[in-house]
Amino acid sequence: MAYIASTPAQTHTGAQQARRHLLIATAVTCLLWFIPYSWILLYPLRLYITFIHEAGHALTALAAGGRVVSLTIAPDGSGLTQTLQDPRSIWLVLSGGYLGTALFGALLLQSGRLYGWRNHGKIALSASGIFFILATLMWSWRDPFSLTTGLLLGIALWALGRCCPPHIANLCTSFLAVQCCLNALGDLSILLHLTASGSLHNDAAYMAKYYGLSPVFWSLLWGGMALAILALSLRSYWRAMATARQ
């Protein structure tokens, strides 16, 4: 597939649109928080975020030389990834879920810079869809709900990337980036609540089991790191758009 280089005028216009899309996506996300029963509308997004979280565990396990046994998504929005890895890399795999979600959101946010702010949404959505489909077929084929969910999400993302006009695809990408970043922080607040209540079945509790310290400490550490990722990504994003407008 060939890509035509953007002219300065096109880059300037694309940067303006990207900024507007990010503001719209953020406003829509905040508005949904105040709409009664919005969780019903956001249910597919909940599964989307959970899949990315679990894929973060899986990818960090592979990066550490381990093996992914399964990736499961439950109807209530929870998930579980089973891996086999060197005990010395357990900390990396456990951290990969929450930090992986924040990193994925940051990557979506930065995707516009790779293509001069033009058509980046179509490319990002199509690539995400292909990743979801491949990851589902490799790791989730044993569980019917996980298999169906992963394939439907992957096909939907791929179809959006292929069929939507560029400005709609760009807006969808910005919306998903905001969802990933904010939900990463929201999930960490839930994790903090679970650890404070004494739950033993969560990533922070497992970190405390293997490495000591309090589960609350690990929750706060991941939260701080996710905030840093979000802040650095937004700073880089705005600086890149300011440069494109010059």
Domain ranges across the chain: 9-179+233-245
What is the DSSP secondary structure assignment for residue 34, as one 8-state letter? Answer: T
Q: Is residue 103 predicted with pLDDT exceeding 80? A: yes
How much is the pLDDT for 180? 82
- pLDDT confidence band for 9 (50 / 70 / 90): very low
pLDDT at 73: 94
d(CA 187, CA 154): 22
pLDDT digits (tens, 9 = 90+) for 163-186: 888 888 888 888 888 888 777 666
pLDDT score at 8: 47
Residues 225 and 125: their CA atoms lie apart, in Å, by 26
- Name the more confident of 153 and 224: 153
Task: Tell me which of 2 and 209 has the higher pLDDT.
Answer: 209
Beta-ladder partners of 73: 79
Q: At what angle do helices 144-163 and 120-139 cross, to 10 degrees?
A: 160
The answer to whether the beta carbons of residues 202 and 178 sit under 8 Å apart is no
Q: State the pTM of this model.
A: 0.81
Higher per-residue confidence, 96 vs 35:
96
Each residue's pLDDT tens digit, 192-202: 666 666 666 67
d(CA 184, CA 16): 27
Token code pair at residue 108: 């979506």
